Structure 1
Amino acid sequence: MEKLIDYTKYTLALSIGLLLYIPANFLPVRTGWHFYVLLVVLGLLIISILAGIALYTRATRVLIDDKRAISDPKGYTTWWGTIHLWLLLVCFAATAPFYFYIKVLSPQPVIECKFTFIDPAGKEVKVSMPCKSKK
């Protein structure tokens, strides 16, 4: 049961990390259906997180009640664990195409702006830095 609790902590961390990653990196999107797909994924992630919390609390309760417990006699850990894990896998699978499209296929090359200044001594100083493109 201790291994289940540790495993649940790690998968909860993945779920919460994905929940924070999606709005930070994929929103705003260019088309409306992308937004609704990501909205559904965020909703499923919230359900996955709640199921993971329920699994964690149930497994902890079983462990506290009976130190020798190997499994949950009522079967709640299996139910919550299945919901948590499958929704997490579905959400990762649904966001993989967004990641590939937005982060791998779509990046624009960095446009470099060059400036030339004359310092007080009369020397030319050339400075280059990335600048925003005009779209």
Structure 2
Amino acid sequence: MNMNHYLQLMGIDVWRLRTPVSNHYYHYDLLDTQDRQVGVLLADAVLKDEKESQLVEKIAKATKKQIRGGLKEGRPNPEKLGQCVIILLGNRVTQSFSQVNFPQIITSHSPAELLRDGDLKPKTWNALKKAMQLMEA
């Protein structure tokens, strides 16, 4: 008996394995005037479109630091980050840090949530201001 017979009965001519869900996130290093890393901004990449990308970049620039980074593939690795201020926007990137103990972690809503609900922006701005104060200390 043909192993794919049941697939043909369901109208499936070609069997393809699903591609694994790729994890994407935004990663911006935040640098002081001497090009030293004082912070990092990590954000969930849900929509992966221009509006989301622009919003994350604007948030990074609002820290008034030099920024370097963009969209990354994979999962954030907490062990590769130095002892700097870490800004986490969204549940996925926050979960990546649930098992580690960093002294200066600031969390808030994902960019996709901010685009959907503008009422969340003041809370995120307040979290960002707190992170900016920590980076200056």
Is the TM-score greater than 0.5? no
Q: Which has the higher strand share?
A: 2
The structure that has the greater radius of gyration is 1
Q: TM-score range by the shorter chain?
A: under 0.3
User: TM-score, normalising length from structure 1?
Assistant: 0.23
Q: Which has the higher helix share?
A: 1
